[in-house]
Amino acid sequence: MRRRPPVLAPIAALGLAGLLAARLAGGAELRVAAAASLGESLPEIAVACATPTGATIVPSFGASSTLARQIVEGAPLDVLLSADEETIDGLERRGLVAPASRVSFASNRLVVVVARDRGTAVAAADDLLSSTVRTIAVAEPHSVPAGVYARRWLERRGLWDRLQAKLVPTDNVRAALSTVASGNADVAIVYRTDARISPRVRVAFEVPEGETPPISYGAAALLASPQPQAARRFLACLTGAEGQAVLARHGFLPPLRPGSAP
């Protein structure tokens, strides 16, 4: 009999080790999916709210629209923090949101950022038409909240159609930010909270409040969650003093629809 080549044994061992590691990592966890713009604040909120919630909070991030899509497909998540209200509306219409769990927990503004060391000269919306601005990174403008806000703003200013050739849509708002930080786009339209996290970009100007739809962050517990009580306690903490303090420290503005805590 011919001996088997010994390559299979290490592969099998690696597979088993991975399985074991995944098993050991389990525990009482509340899985919170959140808009990419919450990338720094949610981990801090997770620490601040762990005790009131009574569970370890495990955040995951992505464009709110992508997360909603995962929820529709049955992803095992307990809570969604979205960068808009429409995404929550959509899940509510599909009957995926736990009744009366919905809250608004923060608001935000759009800014236009440029690379700090490039100094592309833009000071107002019309400057985006200038030939020195060759590429404009925005989150996907038909589904991702930051992109939808950016599109509505440019449409309102009558610039949307004229800027088409310059637009580079990205997966989420943070991808738009990093595209400018890496120098691969001249300008990005992101939230003011995003602009603060990258030392390599600077805010060229803030989009005036009245020129975008209200940028309201909504959250809800998901109906399919096996731990509805922990989910509600987490949302209460998010809209309560602990959560709001973290959000304020990261530059988020207070919720636009206060008093909707569960």
**Residues in touch with another protein (CB under 8 A):** 65-66, 69, 72, 134-135, 140-143, 167-171, 179, 182-185
Type of residue at 5: P
Nearest-5° angle of CA 198, CA 200, CA 206?
Answer: 70
CA distances from 227 to 66, 93, 132, 223 (A): 23, 22, 53, 10
CB of 241 to another protein, least distance (A): 36
Q: Strands of 167-170's sheet, edge to edge? A: 167-170, 136-139, 187-191, 110-115, 201-206
Which of 82, 244 has the CB closer to another protein?
A: 82
CA distances from 181 to 114, 184, 197 (A): 8, 8, 11
CB of 92 to another protein, least distance (A): 16
Backbone angles phi, psi at 176, to 5 degrees: -65, -45
CB of 169 to another protein, least distance (A): 6
Two structure tokens written together for 230: 């922990």
Which of 59, 169 has the CB closer to another protein?
A: 169
Which of 2, 142 has the CB closer to another protein?
A: 142
| Distance of alpha carbon 69 from the chain centroid | 14
Which of 30, 63 has the CB closer to another protein?
A: 63
CB of 144 to another protein, least distance (A): 9
Which of 94, 249 has the CB closer to another protein?
A: 94
CB of 183 to another protein, least distance (A): 4
